[in-house]
Structure 1
């Protein structure tokens, strides 16, 4: 019998022995896959092509198909080559990207653990090991011991690279704080500086475990130790901390007598300070930089503690207590279950978050959200949660509360910034806040006396900032403010101070630049046209400051036209107004100290945390 021409494609195919011919159906044939046995797998393909069968081998039996093809398969015909082309041409490229060397694989796994906050124990999990072995063609996952060795080496590289970077910086600011978690206490510190393009850079210096009492002496010793380890003691403009008694007393010991008297006028926990050891000659062995209290935390104290005390002394205490109690009941019930939370969100089109008891801003924003609802939404929400309705006086009180203290909430958000937040914004922010509160006092129904007490608290708690020469110069060198914020009678004095600082700073840079370097004759002699003395006469420090102060451009980049003032801006505005960055460092640390990672030693915890925090500025550590 003559063979049907239509079957010739399958009969002459090199992989036909993997299939058993079953029958012909019109223009198609049916075959059974021998590799799928004992499962019966029937496949249909056209008589003049084997493309369906090839796809089945590629998808279900790729190892057998590729091995045979790479060794033996010739190009049977033009259309067969084109059918194989797309998958076979792309496959080697995929292999090249998936499979890598052992050293590169170790780098990828190390970065995966550090940057994505993975537990080290993942290296010993069978599933992870199998995944890596399959993707890397049998290469092994590094052991815990190897990872720790790489961690130590990466940390040393990171610290050395950071030292080199900080060595080139003229002015630095550090932030410090204590953190309690899982019955442990850690001392954290970050540092910050401004680049020539005004971009702020940040790095973590330490997050070390503290044993025993974290008193004033411990704080002093730790700050000195960390600063010394990076050789930055002489470059620090200020160390920013919260108002904790340990930090307050530690820095007070190093203040001049006149500034120490000003510090004593601040509101402090006297019992905590007196309960700490006096130290005797201990303080003579250390040196600390100037202290900057966290402006955000200080304002938060005013908005919570001082505001509550002022309200308690007024007749509005009753309506305050009743209205805030109903608000508290709403947020407790709204967060009682996910079902209730979803219903509340659908009713009010808002997602409620529990207010933090130590952060006044979160409580204020919750009240503001409640008062932003329409009467119908508020009624529906209260009925759904089955809480008491607000009476008209309570509604009026809460709406006025949300309106009067909106500038306080805005100022808090402003002072907690990092990238675009400078010491120079503190005084204008406080002055603007005082003015806005006083403007509202005339039209308020409930808060006239409370506003007066709040303004006095701002003046008292920020007295040191208002009188700080550094803070005043930081404000003046910001084009947004210049001397416009200052009363006319005080402007000339501050202008003269600015000129003196520019002159002193220029002389300091000249001395540093010429130290050990030979000068050109034209730079040494100052006679004749074009000499340095004539240039100074045309545009000296006083003229530069005058031109700057008379300008109206508020863009920070305009400082490039005034090099002396620009140096002053970088010098004084390096200091941050708040210690929020070190709190963010602790937030990073919380990920590493979850229950799965609680077995980390204190040393490894610190190294992992600092490597992750500094990954953007210390890139060589991950190579």
Structure 2
């Protein structure tokens, strides 16, 4: 029989097969969709029913896709859809997910959808009210092919579960940490006040890790006793009271007063000792709760970046205003402010500025000296013709030559202050040990500027005195000095010659103590071998890590010139001391970052979160990088 009379030759789906042979009243074909597997099929010469069934069972989705994506494929006849097409259309919708694994990713199970929506709200700080928005519900239900968006109660339940998981993982991590520091602050917004706390530690590879511990609602008119209670409560809830090297805060009166009255720091004034009957104290309540709170309060570290900012925005600014160029400073900064105001209030003015200056101007932040400094520095980077053109376009007074010269000298003289503020505001690569060298370098650079300045010699003198006064506690702090000495970048090079030997001896003592502390930790709770009990003979525990070996390690470290932190791996004892003292941050910026995340949640519209749920959302988001609660 001739090929032209075969039903296969006139079949619209024959391109899915390759003709192989004619065997009696049947023909054999090879399925192209089954490749690379060789699949030979047989059908009658006058029928294609076997081949239709094969397509329906094995390739219904693939056929539909090819018809859609390849418009040049042979079109069906004008008589209407074939029986095969009708059968494929009806069966494919029911069988599509089961037949073609490539479409599985298009489908989202209800549990997976709940996880994605939950993470979307937490990670992007979305209000819970979005779950009740009709448009959002329609969007998600359409994309997920009919799955439903979780309700508010389901979200709250998942929030509690995720929060408990996050806290459990965080406590497990902190149990393994030997030393950490915390930062604390109070945030007030919309007639509410919140106490926030973060914690920070160094891994063995000297990588800094951070976590949020609390963002708890407190009375709007809080007292220092409230702050003390929250610090103690937060430390206790994570079992870290004995591990906190220091708590870093801003210079607010409540924090300063709280730590001054209740801190257990060694440099606090101690009254003359007298013995009291503890039983009578407990019964009579003479000392009250403060007696116990003071026991857990860690040493206090004031925020170095805020202290330096106070020096720049108060001491430096006062000296400038009272100096010989005080009036010149006021008039010049007023003209700068007029430009900033125009930029903020008019988009046309902002566009004009960008076209003239080829840069974007931002309005300085209130009470942030460095923000104002960089804004002035941007203006002074323009040429005189650009400044004049800018003033004409904006309709503000022109800068006089004296004002331009004054601001140019101002930005040059106080550039080291702005750079130092940036250094002290860091987190990941900023350690307590950087504070003293930063301040000493800043003083030296300012004193060098004083010899060449025309207008700011007295201002520089006042600024240097303010640095000595406000940072006196840091310069005298044993912790800060040891933190600096264990940084390879500085070692003892920053110290006068006559003070180096004393600090070297302190470092040796600290290395001995941390080594002993490690040995005690490793042996506590375990059986002690007889050889470990006696400390005689070579190789005994008393000779390991002895003072001679420690002194040699410290000497080798101090003689080195490698400034990379990784070199501390060659000096394990010094590295432990580095971790102990440089765990402390010089800035309280991380807790302010926590509050900035919270400001996106607390809005006038709100989402009616309880204080407890608000805290959980905020902590989950902040801690998402170190826990698996959102996975």
Under TM normalisation by the shorter chain, which class is it? 0.7 to 0.9
Counterpart CA distance in 1 for 2:511 and 2:100 is 64
> Over aligned residue pairs, what C-alpha RMSD do you find?
2.9
- The DSSP-based 3-state class of the residue aligned with 1:180 is strand
Question: Do residues 440 (structure 1) and 431 (structure 2) align?
Answer: no
Deviations 1:569-623 (A, max 9, x none): 000000000000000001111111133435222211111000010011111x224
Question: Do residues 191 (structure 1) and 213 (structure 2) align?
Answer: no
Query: Could you tell me which of 63, 70, 73 is aligned with 1:51?
Result: 73
- The DSSP-based 3-state class of the residue aligned with 2:211 is strand
- Displacement of 1:330 after TM fit? 1.3
Counterpart CA distance in 2 for 1:457 and 1:71 is 77
- CA separation of 1:373 and 1:617: change in aligned 2, threshold 3 A: same
- Displacement of 1:532 after TM fit? 4.7
- CA separation of 1:255 and 1:118: change in aligned 2, threshold 3 A: closer
- CA separation of 1:324 and 1:91: change in aligned 2, threshold 3 A: farther
- Displacement of 1:92 after TM fit? 3.0
Question: Do residues 173 (structure 1) and 178 (structure 2) align?
Answer: no
Question: Do residues 376 (structure 1) and 385 (structure 2) align?
Answer: yes
- Displacement of 1:424 after TM fit? 0.3
Of the structure 1 ranges 137-146 and 470-479, higher mean CA displacement relative to structure 2 is found in 137-146
2:89 is matched with which residue?
67
1:20 is matched with which residue?
none
Question: Do residues 249 (structure 1) and 271 (structure 2) align?
Answer: no
User: Does structure 1 retain, via aligned residues, the 8 Å contact 2:436–2:481?
Assistant: yes
User: Does structure 1 retain, via aligned residues, the 8 Å contact 2:97–2:103?
Assistant: no
Counterpart CA distance in 1 for 2:155 and 2:102 is 28
Query: Could you tell me which of 416, 424, 428 is aligned with 1:415?
Result: 424
The count of aligned residue pairs is: 548
- The DSSP-based 3-state class of the residue aligned with 2:247 is strand
Counterpart CA distance in 2 for 1:381 and 1:557 is 50
Query: Could you tell me which of 222, 234, 239 is aligned with 2:230?
Result: 222
User: Does structure 2 retain, via aligned residues, the 8 Å contact 1:423–1:576?
Assistant: yes
Structure 1 stretches lacking a partner, 5+ long: 16-44, 57-62, 73-87, 263-278
1:547 is matched with which residue?
556
Of the structure 1 ranges 209-218 and 447-456, higher mean CA displacement relative to structure 2 is found in 209-218
Counterpart CA distance in 2 for 1:257 and 1:222 is 19
- Displacement of 1:65 after TM fit? 8.2
- Displacement of 1:477 after TM fit? 0.3
Query: Could you tell me which of 397, 400, 406 is aligned with 1:397?
Result: 406
- Displacement of 1:110 after TM fit? 1.1
- CA separation of 1:280 and 1:403: change in aligned 2, threshold 3 A: farther
- Displacement of 1:516 after TM fit? 2.2
Question: Do residues 594 (structure 1) and 603 (structure 2) align?
Answer: yes
Structure 2 stretches lacking a partner, 5+ long: 15-66, 79-84, 271-285
- The DSSP-based 3-state class of the residue aligned with 1:196 is coil
- Displacement of 1:343 after TM fit? 1.2
- The DSSP-based 3-state class of the residue aligned with 1:335 is helix
- CA separation of 1:382 and 1:93: change in aligned 2, threshold 3 A: farther
Query: Could you tell me which of 482, 487, 496 is aligned with 2:496?
Result: 487
- CA separation of 1:185 and 1:456: change in aligned 2, threshold 3 A: same
Matches within 5 A, 1:276-295: 281-287=288-294, 288-295=297-304
Question: Do residues 99 (structure 1) and 107 (structure 2) align?
Answer: yes
Query: Could you tell me which of 111, 122, 130 is aligned with 1:114?
Result: 122
Matches within 5 A, 1:10-409: 13=12, 51=73, 53=75, 67-68=89-90, 70=92, 92-255=100-263, 259-260=267-268, 281-287=288-294, 288-409=297-418
Deviations 1:453-511 (A, max 9, x none): 00000000000000000000000000000000000000000000010111111111111
User: Does structure 2 retain, via aligned residues, the 8 Å contact 1:119–1:596?
Assistant: no
Counterpart CA distance in 2 for 1:89 and 1:324 is 68
- Displacement of 1:351 after TM fit? 0.6
Of the structure 1 ranges 606-615 and 279-288, higher mean CA displacement relative to structure 2 is found in 279-288
User: Does structure 1 retain, via aligned residues, the 8 Å contact 2:188–2:220?
Assistant: no
- Displacement of 1:260 after TM fit? 4.6
Counterpart CA distance in 1 for 2:72 and 2:420 is 74
- Displacement of 1:515 after TM fit? 1.2
Of the structure 1 ranges 458-467 and 589-598, higher mean CA displacement relative to structure 2 is found in 589-598
- CA separation of 1:70 and 1:171: change in aligned 2, threshold 3 A: same
Of the structure 1 ranges 308-317 and 505-514, higher mean CA displacement relative to structure 2 is found in 308-317
Counterpart CA distance in 2 for 1:524 and 1:227 is 36
- The DSSP-based 3-state class of the residue aligned with 1:350 is coil
Counterpart CA distance in 2 for 1:201 and 1:576 is 12
2:469 is matched with which residue?
460
Matches within 5 A, 1:573-592: 573-592=582-601
Query: Could you tell me which of 562, 580, 584 is aligned with 2:571?
Result: 562
Deviations 1:187-214 (A, max 9, x none): 1100000000000000000111112421
- CA separation of 1:507 and 1:529: change in aligned 2, threshold 3 A: closer
Question: Do residues 427 (structure 1) and 449 (structure 2) align?
Answer: no
- Displacement of 1:52 after TM fit? 6.2
Counterpart CA distance in 2 for 1:258 and 1:617 is 34
User: Does structure 1 retain, via aligned residues, the 8 Å contact 2:388–2:399?
Assistant: no
2:621 is matched with which residue?
612
TM-score by length of 1: 0.83
